[in-house]
Structures are given as C-alpha cells and as structure tokens.
Amino acid sequence: QVQLVESGGGLVQAGGSLRLSCAASGRTFSSDNMGWFRQPPGKEREFVAAINFWGITDYVNSVKGRFTISRDYAKDTLYLQMNSLKPEDTAVYYCACAAGTSTITTKRGDYNYWGQGTQVTVSS
C-alpha cells in the first residue's frame, strides 16, 4: 500500500522558516515525479514545487527564491525547505507522487498518490 506521510508543519512568524518532510513507502519512488501542493483557507489546492528523477525542479512564481524542493533517494523522502515565510503561505501542504511520470509536471491531475497534509500557519 502506497503511503505518503508529511511532517514538519506548524506555526511560525513572518520571515521565519520551516522544513516539511514527506516519507514515502509502498513502492519505489526514485523514478517518479514528486511534488508539493498547498490549499489555502477557502481556496483551491495549488501547485507549489516539483522535482523529477533527474533532479530537475519547478516552482510556482510566488515561492521562487524562498522555497527549495529536494529528495533523498536512499530514504524515499521528499523535502520542502521554506524560508522568508509570508502570511499568504498559510495553507495545508500536501506531498504528492506522479507515479510512472518521469518528466516534471505541475498539473494536479498528473499526481495519483497524496499525503494527508500538514498545516502551515504564518503569523504577521
């Protein structure tokens, strides 16, 4: 059974940092595209960052230069380092896997496995 389990969320002041982790199990993820999405209160789930097998990354414009996505292939763990956090970054953050997709993708519909989400709250 495929499982993605996020951790690392919490409450932080604006300008602070958090690192989210996503532990993956149940299949070999090393060749899959992995991503982070977020859902702000009252809004749709949106793409944040993605990384593919070759380490190619992509980010939504609003987090470029502040967030960094990375993965540890040996541990099957995905990370999202978030710096210079802003109140508008407040959301539930979800880890996702586009199984069998080696090319980078930002499309929510391409992701077929999801974690349960972790809350990130940035106070002003």
Lowest mean pLDDT among 13-22, 54-63, 76-85, 99-108: 99-108
Cα dihedral: 61, 67, 111, 99 (round 10) = 130
Token pair belonging to 48: 């944040």
pLDDT in tens, 78-106: 999 999 999 999 999 999 999 888 789 99
CA 25 to chain centroid, in Å, comes to: 16
Beta bridge partners, 102, equal: none
Distances (CA, A) of 21 to 43, 44, 63, 91: 23, 22, 17, 15
Return the number of other C-beta atoms located less than 10 Å from residue 27's C-beta.
15
